[in-house]
Chain A
Amino acid sequence: MASEPGQTVLTVDNVTVELDRPHESTPLVTDVSFAVRRGEMVGMVGESGSGKSLTASAVAGLLPRGVRLARGAVEIDGRAAGTDATARTRHDGVAMVFQNPMTSLNPSMRVGDQVAEAIRLRRPGTSRRDARREAVEVLERVEITRPAERARQYPFEFSGGMRQRVMIAISIAHRPSVLVADEPTTALDVTVQRGVMDLLDRLRADMGLAVLLVSHDLALVGERCDRLLVMYAGELVEQGETENVLRRPLHPYVRALQRCTPEHAIAAGGLYSLPGRVPQAGEVRTGCRFAARCELRTAECDETHPTLDAYAPGHLVRCVHVGRPEQDHHHERRAEGGV
């Protein structure tokens, strides 16, 4: 997984996404900041409703109807993207792969034409013929066998895994520097999942793509990603190198999440279930958003909203208890280079 630390190509700065209503502000994602470097795969994990997909959409500039980017900026290749609060337009330089490959291809267009369309729209002036030939090359790159033949077929002639490869082909056709993959393998079989993830990994290495992988599968991101971002109730609660976050999690939420995995269940002799649920949008209260479900809850947790602070270089956490002596024996301090 080691990749040369390239320059930062994606900077997300204090992005806040709200419901698009005129006289109120219901934040769904609050002040999310992170950066992704060239050739790096960063995982974003959290429960359903934690705001990870919305953050991903905001990065790609494809926020759905009904929500808006209230504050913050997304910078791609050093250029600001979508600073206009009402902008729902896609961002150049970013591509997105969606969760369900069965519905993310246009059923009435030949697969090759869909890839060629992406090429021609981003590079006006490309002839139809050139775009078509390039489309076949891109299909070959995502490891579709007999690409020239398959380019003339319609999406219904493809299996789920193959459709996801086509979707990836469409998204990389115009050579973006950032690829946002929103649960790209959740709808696929485990065996097919591996193939798609291997492909993403290869593209990341070959093209120097910066990949933001959104998932709720801790094992998957743990295996594939260089760094992890953990979201809870619309904000980042922990961020750091994959190894640090998974081996030595700081935030009680991350620790609880790990205890919910089957791997842990085997070791512990039973599956742990984290009580409660992610707070609904709008019911966010003062204090720590995780307090209601937290084992370490104290009066302080209910009063002050913790900030995302560096515990070690590159390892950030949002918890008032981290860094306290009674906690510290869990972790060995390690100074590591990070963003």
Chain B
Amino acid sequence: MTEVLETEPVRAAGPAEPTAGAGRRVRLGWPGTLALGFVLICLLIALLVPFLPLAEPNEQDLGDTLARYSADHLLGTDQLGRDLLARLLWAIRTSLFAGLTAIVVATLIGLPTGMLAGYRRGWFDTVSARIADVVLTVPALVLLLTVHTALRTGITGQMVTLGVIFAPRIYRVMRAETIRVATMPYLLAGRMSGCSHVRILWRYLLPGIRAQVRVQVSYLLGLSLLIEAGISFLGVGVESPDASLGTMLSGAAAMLASDARVVLIPAAVLSLLILSLNVIGDIESEGERRG
């Protein structure tokens, strides 16, 4: 009797649904599906835009400014006669790549240091936590303006700087998560099996905190898109005439009263993108809380 009880595999009702780290799926619901769909479409656009049969985004046609929708210009033209669709799609590419640059830098700094601090504790934890505190006190905009003025590194440099500013946020969350997972006896069991510390971090700790990485990445990607737009609007990010969601807004801001369309289209795309990323982040963190 007991043998039978013991050897029966314990399965949840329905198909085996892996939990905790084993590729667990979060239920998206329709807002999540829409949001994820929109983000994926934007990513696809970002990747494919050089290969699409589009007008030259920076080519001006001062004889045909603020044109309405036509077969030549599906979304019309802006105040300098540039094709709005081409500019919009290139802007999505520029802005997303800029945002991703910041996220990649932030994750590359924040994730390993956070994991190490939470796992090792001791002096490394103390020192890195203080550094994180210091970085967090620096106002992002002021630093970005300074870097632009002093170094003139262009949008990539600005986004790397932003990544450094974001790194402490990722660091803090990852440190806290690591401390939580590090108390799990399976880490000790892994040590007993002969795992090195690196292997423990990689195969035992990282899967346990992956969900939180996704949460942070979605939130911070939305935030960096907003900041990219902000600094490009101010002229310290992407430089005109190149199209980004920020430069499109700044160039057309004066048109708001006369031809709002030129402003509203990039603004709507930017807002939707940020909203979608936040919705995804919310769903991820909700799923994480429910465990």
Q: How far is the CA of A150 from the CA of B11 in the complex (A)?
A: 12
Interface stretch, picked from B81-89, B200-208, B239-247, B275-283, is B200-208
Contact of A107 among B16, B22, B195, B199 (CB under 8 A): B22
Q: CB of A260 within 8 A of chain B? A: no
Indicate if the CB atoms of A62 and B10 lie closer than 8 Å: no
Is A232 among interface residues, defined by CB-CB distance under 8 A?
no
A170 & B3 in contact (Cβ 8 Å cutoff) = no
B9 near A157 with CB under 8 A, answer yes
The one of A114, A157, A173 that contacts B16, using a Cβ cutoff of 8 Å: A157
- Name the contact of A117 in the complex, choosing from B18, B195, B208 (C-beta under 8 A): B195
Interface residues of B in 8-42 (CB under 8 A from A): 8-11, 16, 18-22
Closest to A159 in B: B10
Q: Are B189 and A170 in contact (CB under 8 A)?
A: yes
- Bound-state CA distance A95–B190 (Å) is 11
B151 sits at the interface (CB 8 A) = no
A192 touches B18 (CB 8 A): no
CB-defined contacts of B193 to chain A, threshold 8 Å: 114, 117-118, 121-122, 170, 173-174
Q: Which residue of A lies closest to B18 (CB)?
A: A154
CB neighbours (8 Å) of B191 from chain A are 62, 90
Given known contacts A98-B185, A104-B186, is B19 in contact with A122 (CB within 8 Å)?
no
Task: Provide the residues of chain B in CB contact with A117, threshold 8 Å.
Answer: 193, 195, 203
Is B203 a contact of A62 with CB atoms below 8 Å? no
Alpha-carbon distance between A122 and B19 when the two chains are bound, in angstroms: 29
Complex formed: what's the CA distance from A154 to B23 in Å?
Answer: 11
Indicate if the CB atoms of A106 and B204 lie closer than 8 Å.
yes
Q: Which of B3, B11, B186, B194 contacts A118 (CB 8 A)?
A: B194
Contact check: which of A100, A109, A195 meets B185 at CB < 8 Å? A100
| Complex: chain B residue closest to A161, CB-CB | B6
In the complex the two chains form, what is the Cα distance from A167 to B185 in whole Å?
11
Q: Is the CB of A62 within 8 A of B192?
A: yes
Residues A150 and B189 in contact, CB atoms below 8 Å apart:
no
Flag whether A158 is at the interface (Cβ < 8 A): yes
Contact B189 A154 (CB under 8 A): no
- Given contacts A156-B19, A156-B20, A162-B7, A105 and B186 within 8 Å (CB-CB): yes
Specify the chain B residue showing the minimal Cβ separation from A170. Answer: B193
Answer whether residue A191 sits at the interface, using C-beta atoms and an 8 A cutoff. yes
Number of interface residues of B (CB under 8 A): 32
| Chain B min CB distance to A22 (Å) | 13
C-alpha spacing A64/B121, complex, angstroms = 13
Q: Could you say which of B3, B121, B194 contacts A122, with CB atoms under 8 Å apart?
A: B194
CB closest residue in chain B, given A95: B192
CB distance from A57 to the nearest CB of B (A): 9
Q: Is the CB of A107 within 8 A of B21?
A: yes
Judge whether A158 and B10 touch: CB under 8 Å.
yes
A90 touches B194 (CB 8 A): yes
Whether A153 sits at the interface, judged by CB under 8 Å, is yes
Contact A90 B192 (CB under 8 A): yes
Task: Report Cα–Cα, A56/B190, bound state, in Å.
Answer: 17
Beta-carbon contact of A121 and B192 below 8 Å: no
Contact of A195 among B3, B8, B192, B195 (CB under 8 A): B3
- Mark out the residues of chain A between 26 and 57 whose CB falls within 8 Å of any chain B CB in the assembled complex: none
Is B2 an interface residue, CB under 8 A from the partner? yes
Beyond A121-B194, A157-B11, A191-B2, is A104–B22 a contact (Cβ under 8 Å)? no
* A327 on the B face (CB < 8 A): no
Highest count of chain B CB atoms <10 Å: which of A65, A107, A144, A153:
A107
B-to-A contact residues, CB < 8 Å: 2-3, 5-11, 16, 18-22, 121, 184-186, 188-195, 199, 203-204, 207-208
Q: Which 4 A-B pairs have the closest CB atoms?
A: A108-B21, A108-B207, A121-B194, A118-B193
